[in-house]
Amino acid sequence: MDLHLIRHIFAKLALLKGCNINPPVFLVFSFIIIPPFSAHANPPCWLSNLNIEHKQIYGVASTISASNLPPLHFAKANAINNWLLSEGQTEIKFDINLTTIEKYDLGGENLYFLADYQQKNKVYSLVSTNPNASNTSQACAITSCNIQQCSPSWICEDHSEQVSFISVAAPTIFANNQIKKIIDNSQSIANTINRAKVVGVIDLLHSDTSHLIISNIQQRYSITDLSQQTNTITIGEMCTDKGTLYSQVTLNTPNISAFHNWMDQPLLDNILGVVGYAKGQTSTGRLSDLLNVAVRRGLFEMAKTKNINVENDLKLTSNTDGYYSLMSKSHQYTESIVSAYIADMKMKINDKLQPEIFIWLLENKDKS
């Protein structure tokens, strides 16, 4: 209750006490504060890691709404739909109030509401298909990212048992959109490499004369997603930097990078492997877009390795004065259907404090 209102009430009581009122007036006030959610000195640990024991995910909603339904209803609705999206399924609509229910039937599988939390003007709801999570009552400080120092370490190098990569989402206007963007970005990358048509052209020009040497290379390519498949992803550890959310996203693929030095040898036995590379800043300045560039370049490299047509033209000119000119032109063209999966990812910060991303892609022979 407001402190000024309390002072006002007791001031009125003092006036009543000094008056000759018959019969006497007795006023009794009870102040009961009931927090809408469990309170933590720090936020719950699941705001920093959604894969401690089992896959979990949360939904977010604003406490400010024009709806008659409580904010917790929308947080739970968003949690369910975030779960469905992470499983490669479509969102659903709700015709019931979810505020007080403890589980939701997804058509043969129950999704359990494990915990709720309110922070400032946001309400969070945690869900999982496993009802016995023990981490819901633990409190942790929100982890901060330091990209230049590769902190936490998972930002630059994967040490998990499953293949993982990072997904990034900038601050959003709507409360749930940031965690949803983490899911969308991850699904977009995973879907693109599932099966794609790659068309590319490389033009090389080399001119060697008595006075100077000039070399030029131009390449253009387009990638069309042909896959109708969506992947199951799991969001793991998370950290924030100036409002931007970084997350470790895990795919359901065993991590074999510990047994193979793919930076030096991307081929794995008889499986075609390539490394996609990107550095610096994209036009948007977003690290997620730089990751996407590395993936697309990797697919282009795979397409060139599988199939490429080359046309060369060589012209030599000379005269009696000793002048000569050697000009070579090469036109390379590729058009391939490729399918791959992310086997590993590394990132480092170079001397100019620019991120450099390396993506190891291995071919899916059954889909190419």
How many angstroms separate the CA atoms of 106 and 179, rounded? 21
Could you give the 3-state DSSP secondary structure of residue 53? Answer: coil
Q: Determine the pLDDT at residue 302.
A: 94
Q: Determine the pLDDT at residue 368.
A: 62
Query: Which tens digits make up the pLDDT trace of 35-46?
Result: 444 444 688 999
Query: Which tens digits make up the pLDDT trace of 221-237?
Result: 898 888 777 788 999 99
Do 47 and 117 form a contact (C-beta atoms < 8 A)? yes
How many angstroms separate the CA atoms of 86 and 235, rounded? 9
pLDDT over 80 (residue 164)? yes
Token code pair at residue 304:
């060139």
DSSP assignment string, 117-175: EEETTEEEEEEES-S--S-TT-B-PPPBPBGGGTBSGGGTB--SSEEEEEEEE---SST
Q: What's the average model confidence in pLDDT over 327-338?
A: 91
Instruction: Put residue 305 in one of left, alpha, beta given phi > 0 → left and psi -120 to 50 → alpha.
Output: alpha
How many angstroms separate the CA atoms of 83 and 273, rounded? 32
- Cα torsion at 81, 87, 89, 91 (round to 10°)? 10
pLDDT band at 367 (very low <50, low <70, confident <90, very high): low
pLDDT band at 53 (very low <50, low <70, confident <90, very high): confident
Q: Which of 93, 266, 280, 85 is nearest to 188 (CA)?
A: 85
Contacts (Cβ under 8 Å, ≥6 apart) of 344: 158, 163, 255, 257, 262, 359, 360
Q: Determine the pLDDT at residue 163.
A: 84
Cα 57 from chain centroid (whole Å): 13
**Global confidence as pTM:** 0.77
Q: How far apart are the first and last CA of the chain?
A: 66
Q: Determine the pLDDT at residue 289.
A: 87
Give 357 or 21, the one with higher predicted confidence: 357
Q: What's the average model confidence in pLDDT over 296-307?
A: 93
Mean pLDDT score across all residues of the chain: 84
Give 91 or 188, the one with higher predicted confidence: 91
Give 351 or 14, the one with higher predicted confidence: 351
Give 274 or 366, the one with higher predicted confidence: 274
Query: Which tens digits make up the pLDDT trace of 86-136?
Result: 998 999 999 999 999 999 999 889 999 999 999 889 999 999 999 987 778
**Which range, of 146-155, 169-178, 193-202, 278-287, averages the lowest pLDDT?**
278-287
Q: Determine the pLDDT at residue 13.
A: 43
Q: What DSSP state is assigned to residue 104?
A: E
